[in-house]
């Protein structure tokens, strides 16, 4: 008994969605007994950025938040989360943990509908199965990956579907659907400009082609006009109103609309540029493609800062193998997908509309692996088409009239062969939660100690989760981490305690002071470090930084400040140092600190072998680094004699030594560092707990995370 096409589509969607969601539960099954991944018996999320949306949703549900706390209560992700929490009878933490798996799996719907639009529903079904768990897409929509990525690919794929249907059917309703999807996409992800503009440009080229071929291009020209109005840089409510009014004008005054269409289009272009549309596109390109290691900021005092894009792995260049595997699971599958998409586009030229997604995905070869995910849906359609056509060709060659059952069996086997590498990736991708339970317990305890107006200062990676769990303010986070923002924190963490404390206090007070300034006031548009320099009478920031070691003009203390020092910051200490290891006046980078960390070591009669050509000589207590022998200044052993009591044993070796060896026995790791690193605030307070009690006092000290309160 055959079923109708609509029922088949619904069945395909249900099966593909269930497969996508169930695959994401593998992580849950693997870690169901891992208590360190849970807080209050609920799984925690595994992406730092997710905590910003969680903070916004929490504050929406609470009905209030602190002024200038940067809580995104107006963001679409936070609003949607709050609505879902209000509707569903589940814990807040449960909802944000499973939301990515549910919303991310919605990708199967537009893919299957795209397949239906070319009368190849099976192509869309296979594409849905493969794309929904492709490496990069899975990574960014797995359980716990609570971020805007939940819909960042779903919405443009819906846009692709609506454009295909609009152009194929020339039905006005798809123009409206397309425009509203653009508005929704922008509300959800404000950086969607570039992709929207790429779709616009592609259709624009098609309209030009139609014009010179003397074909009727009015419908597609109207499509472009609606796209441009939907893409403007106005608030979403205004763009929706404009689109609805224009749609009503087109429906009820069609002849008049067609008559003035070119003028309406010109108006949309003018408004787009006036609203700064192109500026946002250019800023996105500069951030991920035209990356500079050092940026220059300021008018009256031009300072050079290290750019964060240089340290973000997602923005780094990747190999072709990594590129291929992230899009399709395997290099061979990727090449087959590419062939399939080319073939699909030849058979159905309308599928060339997928080029913006493909192009943005391929930008990953230059702009970083984060872009690969955009190519996943279209490459999924490519491999789906190849599998369907290849199955038909094989069975047609064996059976003179073809055989549907045989064709289905071949298609299933080929689909499984493509799915296996992706499923293996899912099984091997054991991403931990952002913080462990023990770390969150510390932040939860701090929440009862600090007030909501207090600051907790740590590296920007930890900003969002600090704010969520401790309900405090931070200087930097996943969205506020430019070079000028990171410099003071980097300087404080990697310099001695006296200058660190002054820098932190100044940065906090200047940050708060800036909130109250008017836009036209000088300090409002200066970086904090520039304001500190000029307000203290210096014209050279280097002179100001040197002056920090003596008496310096300080702003009045308005709130308490805590220092957030986690153990896992040891892994990124050299990166943290980069942001202050440069001359702000010239942009020249300083000498890299000597920093070596290892948990792989062994001991012989003569040496402690630390790997990679680094070893400690027992005979003369010198460090062997490659072919060089370097004097040892100290050998330090740290050991917890109780849960919260650290014993530090320091053996001074040579007064003129250059390197220090620290054996953190409870962590089973060795550190080899130079003198500047040894004396840094992070090392002294976290690794050694040697704090200046005139500047800092311990608030919570644990092996994984240490919180100090500043006294100045």
DSSP 590-622: -PPPPEEEES--EE-SSEEEEETTEEEETTT-E
Q: Which H helix or E strand runs over 664?
A: strand 659-664
Q: Is residue 98 a contact partner of residue 21, using CB atoms and an 8 Å limit?
A: no
Domains contained in the chain, CATH given:
5-428 (no CATH), 437-569 (3.40.1380.40), 593-710 (no CATH)
Residue 367, pLDDT > 80, answer no
Query: CB neighbours (10 Å) of residue 216?
Result: 9
Q: Does 306 score more than 50 pLDDT?
A: yes
Q: Which residues contact 63 (CB under 8 A, 6 or more apart)?
A: none
For 594, residues 6+ apart whose C-beta sits below 8 A from its C-beta are 658, 659, 672, 673, 674, 677
Q: Where are the beta strands (DSSP E) in 19-68?
A: 38-39, 42-43
pLDDT of residue 191: 86
pLDDT at residue 589 is higher than 70: yes
- What's the rounded mean pLDDT across residues 219-228? 94
- What span, in angstroms and rounded, lies between the C-alpha atoms of 312 and 17? 32
Residue 315 has pLDDT above 60, yes or no: no
Tokens 């200038």, located at residue: 68
**What 8-state DSSP symbol labels residue 468?**
H
**pLDDT grade for 288, boundaries at 50, 70 and 90:** low
Q: What is the residue-wise DSSP string for 131-172?
A: HHH-HHHHHTTSTT--STHHHHTHHHHHHHHHHHHHHHH--H
Q: Is 220 exposed, middle or buried (0-12, 13-18, 19+ CB in 10 A)?
A: buried
Average pLDDT, integer, range 208-227? 93
Query: Would you place residue 19 in the very low, low, confident or very high pLDDT band (cuts 50, 70, 90)?
Result: very high
Confidence at residue 1, expressed as pLDDT on a 0 to 100 scale: 42
- Summarize pLDDT for 392-404 with one digit per residue, the tens: 888 776 655 657 8
Tell whether the model's pLDDT for residue 200 goes beyond 80.
yes
Sign of the Cα torsion 145, 147, 151, 153 reads negative
Say which residues have a Cβ less than 8 Å from residue 261's Cβ, sequence separation at least 6. Answer: 218, 221, 222, 225
Alpha-carbon torsion (463, 466, 469, 473), positive or negative: negative
pLDDT for residue 314: 57
Could you write out the DSSP letters of every residue in 87-138?
A: HSSS-HHHHHHHHHHHHHGGGHHHHHHHHHHTT-HHHHHHHHHHHHH-HHHH
Per-residue pLDDT at 333: 97
| DSSP H or E segment with residue 553 | none
- Is residue 503 over pLDDT 50? yes
Query: Stretch 667-672: mean pLDDT, rounded?
Result: 96
How is 450-464 classified by DSSP, letter by letter? S-TT-EEE--GGGHH
Provide, rounded to the nearest whole percent, the portion of the chain with pLDDT above 90: 79
pLDDT at 400: 54
Q: What is d(CA 625, CA 683) in angstroms, rounded to the nearest whole number?
A: 22
| DSSP letter assigned to residue 554 | -
The answer to whether residue 287 scores a pLDDT higher than 80 is: no
pLDDT of 521 over the 90 cut: no
Question: Does the structure show a pLDDT above 60 at 552?
Answer: yes
Helix boundaries (H) for 517-634: 528-535, 541-547, 573-578
Q: Which of 15-19, 229-233, 436-440, 657-661 has the lowest mean pLDDT?
A: 229-233
How far separated are the first and last CA of the chain, in Å rounded? 80
Q: Say whether pLDDT at 290 is over 90.
A: no
Q: What average pLDDT does this structure show over 213-225?
A: 93
Q: Is the predicted pLDDT of residue 492 greater than 70, yes or no? A: yes
Query: What is the number of H-type helices and E-type strands within the chain?
Result: 31, 17
Position 528 scores a pLDDT of 94
pLDDT the model gives residue 406: 84
Kindly tell me the sign of the dihedral angle through the C-alpha atoms of 145, 149, 154, 157.
Answer: negative
pTM of the model: 0.90
pLDDT in tens, 402-449: 578 888 899 999 999 999 999 999 999 999 999 999 999 999 999 999
pLDDT of residue 615 exceeding 70, the answer is yes
Query: Concatenated DSSP letters for 338-405?
Result: HHHHHHHHHH-GGGGGGHHHHHHHHTHHHH-GGGGGGGHHHHHHHHHHHHHHHHHHHHHHHSTT--HH
């Amino acid at each position: 008994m055959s079923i109708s096409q609509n029922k088949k589509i619904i069945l395909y969607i249900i099966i593909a969605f269930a497969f996508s969601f169930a695959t994401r539960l593998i992580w849950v099954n693997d870690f169901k007994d891992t208590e360190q991944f849970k807080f209050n018996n609920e799984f925690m999320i595994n992406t730092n950025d997710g905590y910003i949306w969680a903070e916004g949703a929490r504050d929406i549900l609470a009905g209030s938040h602190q002024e200038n706390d940067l809580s995104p209560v107006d963001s679409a992700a936070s609003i949607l989360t709050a609505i879902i929490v209000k509707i569903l009878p589940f814990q807040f933490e449960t909802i944000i943990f499973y939301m990515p798996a549910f919303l991310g799996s919605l990708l199967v719907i537009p893919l299957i509908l795209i397949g239906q639009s070319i009368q190849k529903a099976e192509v869309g079904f296979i594409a849905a199965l493969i794309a929904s768990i492709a490496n990069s897409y899975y990574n960014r929509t797995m359980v716990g990956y609570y971020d805007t990525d939940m819909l960042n690919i779903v919405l443009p794929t819906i846009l692709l579907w609506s454009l295909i249907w609009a152009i194929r059917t020339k039905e006005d309703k798809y123009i409206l659907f397309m425009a509203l999807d653009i508005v929704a996409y922008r509300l959800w992800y404000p950086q969607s400009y570039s992709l929207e503009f790429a779709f616009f440009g592609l259709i624009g080229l098609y309209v030009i082609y139609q014009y010179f071929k003397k074909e009727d291009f009015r419908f597609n020209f109207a499509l472009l006009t609606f796209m441009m109005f939907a893409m403007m840089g106005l608030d979403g409510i205004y763009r929706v109103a404009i689109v609805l009014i224009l749609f009503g004008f087109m429906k009820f005054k069609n002849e008049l609309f067609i008559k003035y269409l070119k003028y309406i289009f010109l108006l949309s272009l003018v408004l787009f540029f006036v609203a700064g549309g192109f500026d946002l596109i250019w800023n996105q390109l500069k951030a991920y493609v035209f990356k500079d290691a050092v940026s220059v900021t300021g008018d009256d005092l031009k300072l050079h800062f290290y750019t964060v894009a240089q340290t973000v792995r997602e923005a780094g260049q990747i190999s072709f193998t990594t590129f291929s595997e992230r899009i399709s699971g395997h290099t061979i599958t990727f090449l087959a997908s590419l062939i399939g998409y080319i073939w699909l586009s030849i058979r159905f030229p309308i599928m060339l509309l997928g080029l913006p997604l493909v192009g943005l995905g391929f930008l990953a070869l230059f702009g970083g692996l984060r872009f690969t995910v955009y190519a996943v849906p279209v490459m999924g359609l490519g491999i789906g088409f190849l599998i369907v056509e290849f199955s038909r060709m094989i069975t047609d060659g064996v059976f003179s009239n073809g055989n549907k059952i045989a064709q289905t069996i071949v298609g299933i086997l080929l689909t499984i062969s493509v799915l296996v590498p992706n499923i293996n990736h899912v099984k091997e991708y054991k991403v931990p939660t952002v913080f462990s339970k023990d770390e969150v317990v510390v932040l939860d305890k701090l929440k009862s100690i600090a007030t909501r107006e207090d600051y907790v200062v740590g590296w920007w990676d930890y900003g969002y989760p600090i704010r969520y769990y401790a309900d405090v303010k931070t200087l930097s986070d996943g969205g506020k981490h430019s070079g000028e923002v990171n410099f003071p924190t980097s300087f404080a963490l990697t310099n001695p305690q006296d200058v660190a404390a002054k820098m932190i206090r100044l940065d906090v007070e200047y940050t708060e002071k800036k909130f109250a300034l008017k836009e036209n006031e000088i300090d409002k548009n200066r970086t904090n470090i520039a304001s500190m320099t000029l307000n203290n009478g210096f014209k050279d920031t280097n002179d100001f930084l040197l002056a920090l070691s003596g008496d310096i003009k300080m702003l009045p203390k308005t709130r308490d400040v805590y220092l957030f020092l986690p153990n896992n910051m040891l892994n990124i200490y050299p990166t943290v140092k980069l942001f202050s290891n440069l001359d702000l006046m010239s942009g020249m980078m300083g000498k890299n600190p000597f920093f070596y960390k290892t948990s792989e070591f062994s001991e012989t009669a003569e040496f402690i072998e630390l790997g990679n050509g680094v070893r400690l000589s027992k005979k003369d207590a010198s460090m062997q680094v490659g072919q060089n022998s370097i004097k040892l200044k100290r050998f330090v052993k740290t050991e917890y004699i109780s849960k919260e009591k650290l014993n530090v044993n320091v053996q001074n070796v040579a007064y003129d030594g250059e390197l220090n060896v620290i054996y953190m026995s409870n962590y089973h790791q060795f550190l080899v560092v130079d003198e500047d690193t040894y004396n840094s605030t992070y090392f002294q307070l976290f690794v050694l707990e040697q704090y200046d009690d005139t500047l800092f006092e311990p608030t919570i000290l644990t092996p994984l995370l240490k919180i100090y309160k500043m006294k100045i």
